[in-house]
Chain A
Amino acid sequence: MNESISNKAAIAGLGATEFSKNSGRTELRLAMEATLAALADAGIDPSEVDGFSSYSVDKVPEYEIARLLGCKDVKFFSQIPHGGGAACAPIMHAAMAVATGVAKTVVVYRAMNERSWYRFGNGNYGFGDSPIFENINYGWYMPHGFHTPAAWVGMFAQRYMHTYGATSEDFGRVAVAVRDFAATNPNAFFYQKPITLEDHQASRWICEPLHLLDCCQESDGAVAMVITSAERAKDLKQKPVLIKAASQGIADGQQVMTSYYREDITGLPEMGVVARELYSQSGLGPEDFQTAVIYDHFTPFVLPQLEEFGFAKRGEAKDFIRAGHHARGGKLPINTHGGQLGEAYIHGMNGVAEAVRQVRGSAANQVDDVENVLVTAGTGVPTSGLILSAR
């Protein structure tokens, strides 16, 4: 067991804005609302913050948050690349900073008007033809009109279906289960709006094999958390949520959304890297989780994640899902907040927030006797993961 960071740091405060399609205010304001709420939740004075971490595509700089909070001695700050793939990584970076003593009070945050200001799925990203790497790389896809995240994921999904006999209905069962949770989570955009498998199958094609209801929302909103030492967290306002394990992952043949050149494209080997590291740090295994937050920007990638973490054997996640183990009342209910399909697309940070609530015992769809929660980040890209625990 590698105990370098395990249980050294804890999430002591949690804050968020509402999730919407149009926040009607600036991203900086969203970041400040969530950050101040998280600090108040923890009972920590804003001026004490001495570290920050966020992840790419977020446009709110940590120095501006620091300035507005009145921070004086900020010694650690990072912004982690690859968007949603980094959703768990700021917590890891914060835990490392706290565990090593570089910083004592780290704010991690995500604040974007993703729906009202950007839209990731629009097919136009302004890649130029200059020889910087990103332009060269996307030059293999854009000229063919192969230009949306749904399409890039669809290419993996089609091969996965072909190889293992998973079907569109299996993807639909993921969507139905998380929308069921969203329907009973008042903070979810799709609160009180469950769907059926028939709704899923009847929803229009976005990119075959993905229907509309296989795709997450686009959302405006912010989530922030405060990380401090496990020792100090015991004396703060909330029940400490221990960071039991945390890792990032890049595997052989890694690309961003287009790792099509690997021997096999039906797995998510970068998530395998994360899984092995999380199990190594924590000493836990698949049987030790009462619930999990499995990144669901697109339903098909939920299946190989379950396989990479050993909840199902390779190619058998479809059976796990057909048995309803992932749904309300199942043996591993996933995305009890409604996921990004049902609650909001805050690029995974709202999933970390749900894991915090499950450990605290304050989730809208609280699972009984939660000891350990697995959280994963964006798939198809360099990724990350966490285990949050009560002890």
Chain B
Amino acid sequence: MVGREYGRIYAWDEVNPAMVRQWCEVMGVDNPLYTDAAYAATTEFGDIVAPPAMLQAWCLEGLHMNNYPPGSTDENPYEVLSLIEAQGYPAVVAVNSELSFERYLEMGEKLYYTTLIKDLSDEKTTGLGTGFFVTQVMTFYSEQAGADDKVGELLFRVFKFKPAQAAKPAPAAASERPAAKRPLPGISDDTRFFWEGCDAGELRIQQCKACNKLQHPPAPVCQHCHSFDLGYRIAKGSGELYSFVVMHYPEVAPFDHPNPIGLIQLDEGVRLPAGLVGVDRNELKIGQRVRVEFQTFDDQLTLPLFRPVSD
């Protein structure tokens, strides 16, 4: 493709004072030669001229992509980039832009340019990645009676490449973060039997060996008779919903939301809070029968959860 030349792309408008004035305003150029006709009349030009750096602007398509004036070529001067991209080089970065001028443009001149593929490099590896340098030259002409007049040239070079470290899509990046885990309970000598019970699939409720009363949460001493001689009983695992909430906000990982939580009154008479499973949150009712089941989270935490049962 090197050496291929593409047809003309015309300017929408002839060189005109309004666009020159706007360009100067936006770019912060205050040379009166471009905007002040009275001043320009005192110079060798005799009238205002267009800033040379504005050259490329005359032939841009405008607001809508690929919307070129009638008479412009239907060929795509940038097709080489699409072809390279199709080979697996999705990224692009501009590396050179060299603009040169033959002369000042006067008001009323009508411009067009043609495009030449000047060079296509071998595959190169840079800090950005691996790909090809593509060099194009756009030559700008002014339409004249007889031979058109070359007014300037733009050498434009891009690097079309495969990034060294392909950017990963966001969901993949998220999945690489350590997954949030359920917080672990603090466990002490007073409460260890309960958590070991969960690991063993037993719901263990602390029982005083002196007065036989139950208590939960477990403690180092019987709250009824103050004996330190404590053991536990394995609860049957059935009870009723004494109260409940349904957590909505804030949504904290790793919990599901809505997250229904029950305060369970065990048949043995003590209460404990626990997550609810297998419930329709709109059907939850105080007094409904529930039964324990154990679930292990994150390979390290076994919790008693409760599921509604018909009784």
Contacts and interface: CB of A to CB of B under 8 A. Distances in A.
A24 interface: no
B283 interface: no
Contacts of B187: 129, 131, 136, 139
Given A127-B186, A151-B261, A207 B275 contact: no
Given A139-B191, A145-B261, A127 B244 contact: no
Contact of A155 (B183, B189, B190, B243): B243
B81 interface: no
Interface of A: 121-124, 127-132, 134-148, 151, 154-156, 158-159, 162, 204-209, 258, 260-261, 265
Contact of B185 (A140, A145, A155, A260): A140
B281 interface: yes
Interface string B154-198: 000000000000000000000000000011111111110000000
B243 A156 contact: yes
A151 to B, nearest CB: 5
A122 B252 CA distance: 8
Given A131-B187, A137-B217, A208 B271 contact: no
Contacts of B271: 260-261
B128 interface: no
A145 B185 CA distance: 12
A127 B246 CA distance: 22
B249 A131 contact: no
B246 A208 contact: yes
Contacts of B247: 145-146, 148, 151, 207
Contacts of A156: 243
Contacts of B286: 158-159, 162
B275 to A, nearest CB: 4
B259 interface: yes
Interface string B274-296: 11000001000010000000000
Given A124-B252, A129-B185, 17 more contacts: A123-B250, A131-B188, A132-B186, A136-B191, A137-B186, A140-B217, A143-B182, A143-B303, A144-B303, A147-B252, A148-B250, A155-B244, A158-B243, A159-B263, A204-B248, A208-B245, A208-B246
Interface residues of B, number: 38
A260 B273 contact: yes
A260 B250 CA distance: 23
A144 B246 contact: no
A205 B273 contact: no
Contacts of A139: 184-187, 191
Nearest to A159: B243
B244 A261 contact: no
B249 A207 contact: yes
B216 interface: yes
A261 B217 contact: yes
Contacts of A124: 252
10 contacts: A121-B250, A139-B184, A139-B185, A139-B191, A142-B185, A143-B182, A145-B252, A148-B247, A208-B246, A208-B258
Given A155-B244, A158-B243, A122 B186 contact: no
Contacts of A132: 186
A146 B249 contact: no
Contacts of B258: 205, 208
A136 B303 contact: no
A143 B301 contact: yes
Contacts of B244: 155, 158
A205 B261 CA distance: 15
Contact of A140 (B243, B252, B272): B272
Nearest to A154: B245
A78 to B, nearest CB: 28
